[in-house]
Protein backbone atom coordinates (compact mmCIF):
# COMPACT_ATOMS: atom_id res chain seq x y z
CA UNK A 1 0.00 0.00 0.00
CA UNK A 2 2.77 2.37 0.94
CA UNK A 3 4.63 1.47 -2.26
CA UNK A 4 1.51 2.08 -4.32
CA UNK A 5 0.99 5.48 -2.70
CA UNK A 6 4.60 6.34 -3.30
CA UNK A 7 4.34 5.40 -6.96
CA UNK A 8 1.14 7.38 -7.32
CA UNK A 9 2.73 10.44 -5.64
CA UNK A 10 5.78 10.26 -7.94
CA UNK A 11 3.56 9.97 -10.98
CA UNK A 12 1.52 12.97 -9.86
CA UNK A 13 4.65 14.97 -9.07
CA UNK A 14 6.16 14.20 -12.47
CA UNK A 15 2.89 15.05 -14.19
CA UNK A 16 2.73 18.36 -12.34
CA UNK A 17 6.37 19.13 -13.14
CA UNK A 18 5.81 18.34 -16.83
CA UNK A 19 2.68 20.49 -16.88
CA UNK A 20 4.56 23.38 -15.26
CA UNK A 21 7.38 23.01 -17.78
CA UNK A 22 4.93 22.99 -20.69
CA UNK A 23 3.16 26.06 -19.29
CA UNK A 24 6.51 27.82 -18.93
CA UNK A 25 7.49 26.87 -22.49
CA UNK A 26 4.11 28.00 -23.78
CA UNK A 27 4.48 31.34 -22.01
CA UNK A 28 7.99 31.79 -23.41
CA UNK A 29 6.83 30.83 -26.89
CA UNK A 30 3.89 33.19 -26.69
CA UNK A 31 6.11 36.06 -25.57
CA UNK A 32 8.70 35.40 -28.28
CA UNK A 33 5.96 35.23 -30.92
CA UNK A 34 4.64 38.70 -30.14
CA UNK A 35 5.76 40.97 -32.99
CA UNK A 36 7.07 44.45 -32.39
CA UNK A 37 4.31 46.89 -33.37
CA UNK A 38 4.90 49.10 -36.37
CA UNK A 39 6.35 52.56 -35.87
CA UNK A 40 4.05 55.59 -35.66
CA UNK A 41 3.17 57.12 -39.03
CA UNK A 42 4.22 60.76 -38.96
CA UNK A 43 3.42 63.67 -41.25
CA UNK A 44 6.90 65.23 -40.91
CA UNK A 45 8.82 65.74 -44.13
CA UNK A 46 11.66 63.58 -42.81
CA UNK A 47 12.59 62.07 -39.46
CA UNK A 48 14.81 59.61 -37.66
CA UNK A 49 14.90 57.88 -34.27
CA UNK A 50 18.42 56.79 -33.28
CA UNK A 51 19.79 54.83 -30.34
CA UNK A 52 22.49 56.91 -28.67
CA UNK A 53 24.70 54.06 -27.43
CA UNK A 54 24.89 52.11 -30.69
CA UNK A 55 24.03 54.62 -33.39
CA UNK A 56 21.45 52.15 -34.71
CA UNK A 57 18.36 53.61 -36.35
CA UNK A 58 14.98 52.42 -35.06
CA UNK A 59 12.72 54.45 -37.35
CA UNK A 60 13.40 56.70 -40.32
CA UNK A 61 11.81 58.37 -43.29
CA UNK A 62 13.87 60.23 -45.90
CA UNK A 63 16.56 60.54 -43.23
CA UNK A 64 19.26 61.37 -45.81
CA UNK A 65 17.26 64.04 -47.60
CA UNK A 66 18.95 67.47 -47.25
CA UNK A 67 16.46 70.16 -46.22
CA UNK A 68 16.62 73.63 -44.63
CA UNK A 69 17.23 73.05 -40.89
CA UNK A 70 16.43 76.56 -39.60
CA UNK A 71 17.75 77.14 -36.06
CA UNK A 72 18.74 73.49 -35.57
CA UNK A 73 21.87 74.84 -37.27
CA UNK A 74 22.81 76.25 -33.86
CA UNK A 75 23.66 72.74 -32.69
CA UNK A 76 26.82 73.05 -34.78
CA UNK A 77 27.52 76.56 -33.50
CA UNK A 78 27.20 75.18 -29.97
CA UNK A 79 29.41 72.19 -30.84
CA UNK A 80 32.24 74.45 -32.02
CA UNK A 81 31.83 76.72 -28.97
CA UNK A 82 31.95 73.71 -26.63
CA UNK A 83 34.98 72.39 -28.50
CA UNK A 84 36.80 75.70 -28.08
CA UNK A 85 35.97 75.76 -24.36
CA UNK A 86 37.15 72.17 -23.86
CA UNK A 87 40.39 72.93 -25.70
CA UNK A 88 41.01 76.00 -23.53
CA UNK A 89 40.87 78.42 -26.46
CA UNK A 90 38.02 80.34 -24.85
CA UNK A 91 36.24 80.24 -21.48
CA UNK A 92 32.70 80.77 -20.27
CA UNK A 93 33.84 83.95 -18.55
CA UNK A 94 35.36 85.55 -21.66
CA UNK A 95 33.78 88.89 -22.51
CA UNK A 96 32.63 89.44 -26.07
CA UNK A 97 32.01 92.90 -27.51
CA UNK A 98 28.80 92.87 -29.53
CA UNK A 99 29.31 93.91 -33.15
CA UNK A 100 26.79 95.84 -35.18
CA UNK A 101 26.48 92.82 -37.46
CA UNK A 102 25.38 90.62 -34.55
CA UNK A 103 23.11 93.31 -33.11
CA UNK A 104 21.30 93.77 -36.44
CA UNK A 105 20.38 90.08 -36.82
CA UNK A 106 16.68 89.52 -37.34
CA UNK A 107 14.48 86.65 -36.24
CA UNK A 108 14.66 85.27 -32.72
CA UNK A 109 16.98 87.30 -30.47
CA UNK A 110 18.37 87.50 -26.95
CA UNK A 111 18.50 91.32 -27.31
CA UNK A 112 22.20 92.06 -26.91
CA UNK A 113 23.23 95.65 -27.61
CA UNK A 114 25.90 96.88 -29.99
CA UNK A 115 29.17 97.80 -28.30
CA UNK A 116 28.23 96.15 -24.99
CA UNK A 117 30.22 93.30 -23.46
CA UNK A 118 28.55 89.96 -22.74
CA UNK A 119 30.15 86.71 -21.59
CA UNK A 120 30.44 83.54 -23.63
CA UNK A 121 28.18 81.84 -21.07
CA UNK A 122 25.50 84.47 -21.55
CA UNK A 123 25.73 84.11 -25.32
CA UNK A 124 25.43 80.33 -25.08
CA UNK A 125 22.31 80.64 -22.96
CA UNK A 126 20.90 83.26 -25.30
CA UNK A 127 21.57 81.04 -28.33
CA UNK A 128 20.46 77.71 -26.87
CA UNK A 129 17.55 78.70 -24.62
CA UNK A 130 16.30 81.80 -26.47
CA UNK A 131 17.49 80.68 -29.93
CA UNK A 132 19.03 84.13 -30.43
CA UNK A 133 20.42 84.73 -33.90
CA UNK A 134 22.27 87.72 -32.46
CA UNK A 135 23.94 85.47 -29.86
CA UNK A 136 24.91 82.85 -32.44
CA UNK A 137 26.47 85.49 -34.67
CA UNK A 138 28.41 87.06 -31.79
CA UNK A 139 29.77 83.65 -30.79
CA UNK A 140 30.74 82.87 -34.39
CA UNK A 141 32.62 86.16 -34.76
CA UNK A 142 34.43 85.67 -31.46
CA UNK A 143 35.46 82.04 -32.05
CA UNK A 144 36.22 82.27 -35.76
CA UNK A 145 37.53 85.84 -35.94
CA UNK A 146 34.76 86.59 -38.39
CA UNK A 147 31.55 84.93 -39.49
CA UNK A 148 32.82 83.50 -42.78
CA UNK A 149 35.82 81.82 -41.13
CA UNK A 150 33.52 80.29 -38.53
CA UNK A 151 31.22 78.94 -41.25
CA UNK A 152 34.25 77.32 -42.89
CA UNK A 153 34.95 75.62 -39.53
CA UNK A 154 31.34 74.46 -39.40
CA UNK A 155 31.58 72.80 -42.79
CA UNK A 156 34.98 71.24 -42.05
CA UNK A 157 33.59 69.81 -38.80
CA UNK A 158 30.52 68.44 -40.57
CA UNK A 159 32.81 66.64 -42.99
CA UNK A 160 34.91 65.26 -40.14
CA UNK A 161 31.83 63.93 -38.38
CA UNK A 162 30.61 62.18 -41.53
CA UNK A 163 27.66 64.52 -42.05
CA UNK A 164 27.57 63.98 -45.80
CA UNK A 165 24.24 65.72 -46.49
CA UNK A 166 25.07 68.94 -44.65
CA UNK A 167 26.25 72.33 -45.85
CA UNK A 168 26.25 75.57 -43.87
CA UNK A 169 26.07 79.16 -45.10
CA UNK A 170 25.74 80.84 -41.70
CA UNK A 171 25.85 80.02 -37.95
CA UNK A 172 22.15 80.74 -37.29
CA UNK A 173 20.06 78.80 -39.80
CA UNK A 174 18.81 82.00 -41.43
CA UNK A 175 17.42 81.01 -44.86
CA UNK A 176 20.16 80.84 -47.49
CA UNK A 177 20.46 78.89 -50.72
CA UNK A 178 22.42 75.68 -50.19
CA UNK A 179 22.12 75.78 -46.38
CA UNK A 180 20.89 72.24 -45.68
CA UNK A 181 21.08 69.31 -43.26
CA UNK A 182 19.55 65.83 -43.22
CA UNK A 183 17.72 64.26 -40.29
CA UNK A 184 20.43 61.62 -39.95
CA UNK A 185 23.19 64.24 -39.92
CA UNK A 186 21.37 66.20 -37.23
CA UNK A 187 20.97 63.06 -35.08
CA UNK A 188 24.67 62.33 -35.56
CA UNK A 189 25.60 65.86 -34.51
CA UNK A 190 23.38 65.86 -31.42
CA UNK A 191 24.75 62.45 -30.42
CA UNK A 192 28.34 63.67 -30.70
CA UNK A 193 27.54 66.86 -28.83
CA UNK A 194 26.09 64.90 -25.89
CA UNK A 195 28.92 62.36 -25.91
CA UNK A 196 31.83 64.80 -26.16
CA UNK A 197 30.54 67.60 -23.91
CA UNK A 198 28.30 66.06 -21.21
CA UNK A 199 28.87 68.89 -18.73
CA UNK A 200 28.13 71.66 -21.23
CA UNK A 201 25.15 69.80 -22.67
CA UNK A 202 23.20 70.84 -19.56
CA UNK A 203 22.61 74.24 -21.21
CA UNK A 204 20.10 72.48 -23.47
CA UNK A 205 17.92 71.42 -20.52
CA UNK A 206 17.59 75.00 -19.20
CA UNK A 207 13.91 75.93 -19.35
CA UNK A 208 14.20 79.72 -19.34
CA UNK A 209 16.74 82.53 -19.43
CA UNK A 210 16.47 86.20 -18.57
CA UNK A 211 18.75 88.74 -20.24
CA UNK A 212 18.46 92.50 -20.43
CA UNK A 213 15.31 92.26 -18.30
CA UNK A 214 13.60 90.00 -20.83
CA UNK A 215 12.66 86.46 -19.78
CA UNK A 216 12.25 83.93 -22.56
CA UNK A 217 11.29 80.27 -22.29
CA UNK A 218 12.99 77.40 -24.07
CA UNK A 219 11.15 76.59 -27.29
CA UNK A 220 11.84 72.88 -26.68
CA UNK A 221 8.39 72.12 -25.18
CA UNK A 222 9.14 68.47 -24.41
CA UNK A 223 11.35 69.71 -21.56
CA UNK A 224 8.16 70.84 -19.83
CA UNK A 225 6.20 67.67 -20.62
CA UNK A 226 8.64 64.91 -19.64
CA UNK A 227 11.27 64.90 -16.93
CA UNK A 228 13.30 62.34 -18.92
CA UNK A 229 13.77 64.72 -21.86
CA UNK A 230 16.97 66.72 -21.32
CA UNK A 231 17.30 68.95 -24.32
CA UNK A 232 17.68 69.60 -27.99
CA UNK A 233 16.97 72.39 -30.46
CA UNK A 234 13.97 73.70 -32.29
CA UNK A 235 13.87 75.45 -35.63
CA UNK A 236 11.30 77.21 -37.78
CA UNK A 237 11.25 79.13 -41.04
CA UNK A 238 8.72 79.13 -43.86
CA UNK A 239 10.98 76.91 -45.97
CA UNK A 240 11.96 74.55 -43.16
CA UNK A 241 8.60 74.21 -41.45
CA UNK A 242 8.62 73.38 -37.76
CA UNK A 243 11.62 71.24 -36.79
CA UNK A 244 12.93 69.63 -33.63
CA UNK A 245 15.99 67.63 -32.59
CA UNK A 246 15.69 66.25 -29.08
CA UNK A 247 17.01 63.59 -26.74
CA UNK A 248 15.86 61.76 -23.64
CA UNK A 249 17.01 59.05 -21.27
CA UNK A 250 14.93 56.42 -19.50
CA UNK A 251 16.17 53.49 -17.43
CA UNK A 252 19.72 53.92 -18.68
CA UNK A 253 18.75 54.04 -22.37
CA UNK A 254 19.14 57.26 -24.39
CA UNK A 255 17.42 57.99 -27.68
CA UNK A 256 17.78 60.87 -30.15
CA UNK A 257 14.80 61.96 -32.28
CA UNK A 258 14.74 64.42 -35.18
CA UNK A 259 11.60 65.58 -37.00
CA UNK A 260 11.82 68.07 -39.88
CA UNK A 261 9.17 69.95 -41.83
CA UNK A 262 6.07 69.58 -39.65
CA UNK A 263 3.12 71.93 -39.90
CA UNK A 264 3.10 73.46 -36.42
CA UNK A 265 4.86 73.77 -33.09
CA UNK A 266 2.43 71.29 -31.55
CA UNK A 267 2.97 68.82 -34.38
CA UNK A 268 6.75 68.78 -34.04
CA UNK A 269 6.47 68.19 -30.30
CA UNK A 270 3.85 65.45 -30.60
CA UNK A 271 5.67 63.64 -33.38
CA UNK A 272 9.07 63.72 -31.70
CA UNK A 273 7.46 62.52 -28.47
CA UNK A 274 5.71 59.70 -30.33
CA UNK A 275 9.02 58.52 -31.74
CA UNK A 276 10.72 58.58 -28.35
CA UNK A 277 7.86 56.75 -26.63
CA UNK A 278 7.84 54.09 -29.32
CA UNK A 279 11.57 53.49 -28.99
CA UNK A 280 11.54 53.30 -25.20
CA UNK A 281 8.45 51.07 -25.12
CA UNK A 282 9.55 48.40 -27.58
CA UNK A 283 13.36 48.46 -27.74
CA UNK A 284 16.27 48.23 -25.34
CA UNK A 285 20.01 48.67 -25.43
CA UNK A 286 21.86 45.56 -24.26
CA UNK A 287 25.45 45.80 -23.03
CA UNK A 288 27.25 42.85 -24.62
CA UNK A 289 30.85 43.14 -23.42
CA UNK A 290 33.01 45.85 -21.87
CA UNK A 291 36.07 47.25 -23.62
CA UNK A 292 39.26 45.95 -22.03
CA UNK A 293 37.46 42.99 -20.42
CA UNK A 294 39.36 39.69 -20.80
CA UNK A 295 37.20 37.42 -22.96
CA UNK A 296 39.72 34.58 -23.34
CA UNK A 297 43.39 33.71 -22.77
CA UNK A 298 44.34 31.69 -25.85
CA UNK A 299 47.52 29.65 -26.28
CA UNK A 300 50.36 31.60 -27.87
CA UNK A 301 53.38 29.81 -29.27
CA UNK A 302 56.99 31.02 -28.96
CA UNK A 303 56.09 33.88 -26.59
CA UNK A 304 57.50 34.87 -23.23
CA UNK A 305 54.22 33.60 -21.77
CA UNK A 306 52.04 30.75 -23.02
CA UNK A 307 48.85 32.78 -23.00
CA UNK A 308 47.71 36.27 -23.98
CA UNK A 309 44.52 37.95 -22.73
CA UNK A 310 42.19 39.13 -25.49
CA UNK A 311 39.12 41.39 -25.56
CA UNK A 312 37.43 44.35 -27.25
CA UNK A 313 38.94 47.81 -27.67
CA UNK A 314 35.69 49.53 -26.68
CA UNK A 315 32.40 48.71 -24.99
CA UNK A 316 29.94 46.89 -27.22
CA UNK A 317 26.19 47.38 -26.95
CA UNK A 318 23.40 46.37 -29.33
CA UNK A 319 19.86 47.54 -29.84
CA UNK A 320 17.18 44.83 -29.86
CA UNK A 321 13.40 44.57 -29.69
CA UNK A 322 12.49 43.80 -26.08
CA UNK A 323 10.47 40.76 -27.17
CA UNK A 324 13.56 39.19 -28.79
CA UNK A 325 16.23 39.75 -26.16
CA UNK A 326 16.37 36.00 -25.39
CA UNK A 327 17.43 35.37 -29.00
CA UNK A 328 20.76 37.15 -28.53
CA UNK A 329 23.84 34.95 -28.89
CA UNK A 330 27.52 35.91 -28.69
CA UNK A 331 30.31 33.91 -30.30
CA UNK A 332 34.08 34.38 -30.17
CA UNK A 333 36.29 33.05 -32.96
CA UNK A 334 40.05 33.39 -32.53
CA UNK A 335 42.72 32.97 -35.18
CA UNK A 336 44.36 29.57 -35.14
CA UNK A 337 48.00 29.01 -34.13
CA UNK A 338 48.77 32.36 -32.51
CA UNK A 339 52.53 32.99 -32.65
CA UNK A 340 54.56 35.64 -30.80
CA UNK A 341 55.52 38.40 -31.02
CA UNK A 342 52.10 39.88 -30.29
CA UNK A 343 51.64 43.58 -29.52
CA UNK A 344 48.83 45.04 -27.46
CA UNK A 345 46.03 45.98 -29.84
CA UNK A 346 46.83 43.34 -32.48
CA UNK A 347 43.63 41.82 -33.92
CA UNK A 348 43.49 38.12 -33.07
CA UNK A 349 39.92 37.20 -33.92
CA UNK A 350 36.29 38.35 -34.13
CA UNK A 351 33.34 38.66 -31.75
CA UNK A 352 29.97 38.20 -33.44
CA UNK A 353 26.57 39.05 -31.94
CA UNK A 354 23.52 37.38 -33.47
CA UNK A 355 19.84 38.00 -33.04
CA UNK A 356 18.29 34.73 -34.09
CA UNK A 357 19.93 33.86 -37.39
CA UNK A 358 21.05 37.40 -38.20
CA UNK A 359 24.45 38.87 -37.31
CA UNK A 360 23.74 42.34 -35.89
CA UNK A 361 27.23 43.32 -34.68
CA UNK A 362 30.80 42.21 -35.28
CA UNK A 363 33.98 43.53 -33.69
CA UNK A 364 37.69 42.63 -33.82
CA UNK A 365 39.08 40.91 -30.73
CA UNK A 366 42.50 42.30 -29.83
CA UNK A 367 45.43 41.45 -27.58
CA UNK A 368 45.14 43.24 -24.24
CA UNK A 369 48.86 42.94 -23.48
CA UNK A 370 52.19 42.53 -25.24
CA UNK A 371 53.67 39.05 -25.58
CA UNK A 372 57.18 39.35 -27.07
CA UNK A 373 59.10 36.40 -28.48
CA UNK A 374 60.58 34.05 -25.92
CA UNK A 375 64.14 32.77 -25.80
CA UNK A 376 65.64 30.33 -28.32
CA UNK A 377 64.85 27.28 -26.21
CA UNK A 378 61.24 28.45 -25.77
CA UNK A 379 60.92 29.06 -29.48
CA UNK A 380 62.28 25.63 -30.36
CA UNK A 381 60.10 23.85 -27.81
CA UNK A 382 56.95 25.68 -28.88
CA UNK A 383 57.68 25.04 -32.56
CA UNK A 384 57.49 21.32 -31.77
CA UNK A 385 54.25 21.68 -29.79
CA UNK A 386 52.75 23.86 -32.52
CA UNK A 387 53.52 21.15 -35.08
CA UNK A 388 52.12 18.52 -32.75
CA UNK A 389 48.90 20.42 -32.04
CA UNK A 390 48.25 21.01 -35.68
Contacts of 270 (CB under 8 A, 6+ apart): none
Whole-angstrom Cα Rg for the chain: 28
CA dist 388 → 306, 369, 384 (Å): 16, 26, 6
* Contact predicate 125/211, CB 8 Å: yes
Catalytic annotation on 6? Answer: no
Helical ranges in the chain per DSSP H? 2-33, 74-87, 100-103, 120-128, 133-144, 147-160, 183-196, 222-225, 265-282, 376-389
Indicate the burial class of 8 (C-beta count within 10 angstroms; 0-12, 13-18, 19 or more): exposed
Q: Choose, from 74, 182, 233, 247, the residue flagged as catalytic.
A: 74
Strands 57-61 vs 46-51: parallel, antiparallel or unpaired: antiparallel
Catalytic-residue membership of 148 = no
Among the listed residues 46, 99, 131, 317, the single catalytic one is: 131
Q: DSSP assignment of 48-115, as one string? A: EEEETTT--EEEEESTT--B--GGGGHHHHHHHHHHHHHHTSS-TT-EEEPPHHHHT--SS-----TT
Buried b (16+ CB within 10 A) or exposed e, 345-360: ebebbebebbbeeeee
Residue 46 among the catalytic residues: no
Instruction: Report, as residue numbers or ranges, the catalytic residues.
Output: 71, 74, 131
Amino acid sequence: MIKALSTTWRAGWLTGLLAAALLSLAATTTQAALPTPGAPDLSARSYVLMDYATGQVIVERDADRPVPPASITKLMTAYLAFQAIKAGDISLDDKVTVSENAWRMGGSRMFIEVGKEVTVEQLLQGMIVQSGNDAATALAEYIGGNESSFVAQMNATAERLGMDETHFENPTGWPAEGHEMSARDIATLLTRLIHEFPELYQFFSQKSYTFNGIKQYNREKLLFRNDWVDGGKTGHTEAAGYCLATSGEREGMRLVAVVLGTESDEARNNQAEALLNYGFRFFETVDVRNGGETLATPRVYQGETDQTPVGLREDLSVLVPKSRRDELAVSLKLDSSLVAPIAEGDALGRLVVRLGEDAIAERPVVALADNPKGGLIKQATDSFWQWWDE
